Amino acid sequence: MQTMGQQQKRRSWAEPYKIKMVEPLKMTSRPEREKAIAEAGYNTFLLRSDDVYIDLLTDSGTSAMSDRQWAGLMMGDEAYAGSRNFYDLEEKVRQYYGYRFMVPTHQGRGAEHLISKALISDGDFIPGNMYFTTTRLHQELAGGTFVDVIIDEAHDPQNSHPFKGNVDLAKVAALIDRVGADKIPYLSIAGTVNMAGGQPVSMANVRELRTLLNRHGIKLYLDATRMIENAYFIKEREEGYQDRTIAEILLEFCNYTDGAWMSAKKDHLVNIGGWLAVNDEAVFQKISNLVVIYEGLHTYGGMAGRDMQALAIGITEAVQYDHIRARVEQVRYLGNLLLDWSIPIVRPIGSHAIFLDALAIYSHLPQEVFPAQSLAAELYVDSGIRAMERGIVSAGRDAQTGAHRLPKLELVRLTIPRRVYTQSHMDVVAEAVKEVYDKRKEATGLKMVYEPEYLRFFQARFERL
């Protein structure tokens, strides 16, 4: 037995901020939630946020801004052209990401649209480390075909590879052999792969990838949406990076790439915004011409001056170690509670969300009755917690055959907004998931009764089977 003196001292750490303003939450009754989800066609995207208790739909645009960012809003320069906030933002992107040229966009998909239009021609192939919904769609709309070149481990929810976002270089080489380098304008790499469960890419992998692509004259563009979270994992897991700052790791990683697009609604702690940055001056000329057609003038790109200011400040806050540690560790706290109860989730625990393995939880349901969509609906009915399907509905239909794509991962994403919820909220979420898990045998699945043409997961409607 331990005496008092021998007992380990308990030294907890806590969120690196205090709360200045609160937003009350409303609890609903189970019958109210049954009605709400039926009216929403069993699609959590179609719920009213007023009917939601803890909102884990997404970490996109849902962050709490800091007092400095709110102060930044008051410094908005709403000039149509040449706003001072633009120059501030441009300087921060250069300083932290290292790219020479930047255009703002209204959000990430605006930037995806521009880069796809600027670089992809009909019949091209765009390899990437797993698809993301809007990224792939813009590549396809520009005439390209997406090819998944992520390592096989990423498609296995139980594989604990530390860098499950890595690109399989052999798959890239095979694609080059098959279609020829001139049909591959660029490889699209995402920092922390959203659809794989928020899994990171290692520095070694991007370095080797760059060498391979250089041999064939293929460019490398980065989806930097959650690249700061990726940098945290590199610091934690990769030999030689423990003593490097998040900012140094971010800059080194970006240095292997030719440019990046950004949904600032994630890493950068703002509610709206994005940008597209490149090193090549000719590409910059193209995108800064395209931006005026689709987004706005090249010095605002669809954003208000004040929003660019909040974003510029957000970049500097996002790379602070205390911030990013609290962010990733809060997600890990929730995940570990679920693992303690043997609830199947994607491992290792990623940076922005916990992904419930719906195929393992609802093992009695075939993928065609939408197990993840059903699980997200049941979780909402149980407790008012809103999550999101990331499985067969999100994957959509094959562009050629029109059949459902059947992804290996059929997941429910519990996405944690940044700086919004406390550890107690995580406890409540874990207990609700446990309740739904315990009742898993009762689930019967759904049928789709309305399917929109593009990005169907946002607006599709279902009925209970």
Q: Please indicate whether residue 133 is annotated as part of the active site.
A: yes
> What angle separates helix 281-294 from helix 108-119, to the nearest 10 degrees?
120
- Is residue 202 close enough to count as binding ligand F0G by CB under 6 A? no
CB-closest chain residue to ligand F0G: 108
- Is residue 58 close enough to count as binding ligand F0G by CB under 6 A? yes
28/459 with CB nearer ligand F0G: 459
Question: Which of 113, 219, 235, 265 is close enough to bind ligand F0G by CB under 6 A?
Answer: 265
Question: Which of 66, 188, 205, 263 is close enough to bind ligand F0G by CB under 6 A?
Answer: 263
CA atoms within 13 A on the CB side of 115: 36
Using the contact rule CB under 6 A, the part of the chain among 41-49, 85-93, 129-137, 240-248 near ligand F0G is: 129-137
CA atoms within 13 A on the CB side of 177: 6
Is the alpha carbon torsion for 323, 328, 331, 333 positive or negative?
A: negative
Q: Which amino acid is at 357?
A: D
Shortest Å distance, C-beta 105 to ligand F0G: 9
- The 8-class DSSP code of residue 193 comes to B
Residues 175-194 that bind ligand F0G (CB under 6 A): 190, 194
Burial class (CB in 10 A: 0-12, 13-18, 19+), 11: exposed
- Is residue 274 close enough to count as binding ligand F0G by CB under 6 A? yes
**SS3 assignment, position 324:** helix
What is the C-alpha separation between 412 and 414, in angstroms, rounded?
7
- Is residue 42 close enough to count as binding ligand F0G by CB under 6 A? no
Question: Which of 53, 131, 132, 186 is close enough to bind ligand F0G by CB under 6 A?
Answer: 132
Q: Please indicate whether residue 223 is annotated as part of the active site.
A: yes
What is the C-alpha separation between 277 and 394, in angstroms, rounded?
28
Shortest Å distance, C-beta 260 to ligand F0G: 11
Phi, psi (5° rounding) for residue 216? -110, 5
Work out the angle at residue 382's Cα, subtended by the Cα atoms of residues 377 and 386, and round it to the nearest 5 degrees. Answer: 50
Q: Please indicate whether residue 28 is annotated as part of the active site.
A: no
Site string for ligand F0G, 135-154 (x = CB under 6 A): x-------------------
311/443 with CB nearer ligand F0G: 311
Shortest Å distance, C-beta 200 to ligand F0G: 13
- CA distances 330 to 15, 64, 231, 393, 417, Å, are 9, 15, 17, 28, 10
Question: Which of 41, 72, 104, 108 is close enough to bind ligand F0G by CB under 6 A?
Answer: 108
Residue 44 is encoded by which pair of tokens? Answer: 């959590």
Using the contact rule CB under 6 A, the part of the chain among 9-17, 34-42, 107-115, 450-458 near ligand F0G is: 107-115
- The 8-class DSSP code of residue 195 comes to G
Applying CB under 6 A, which residues contact ligand F0G?
A: 58, 60, 107-109, 132, 134-135, 190, 194, 223, 225, 263, 265, 274
Mind telling me the catalytic residues? 80, 132-133, 223, 266, 390, 457
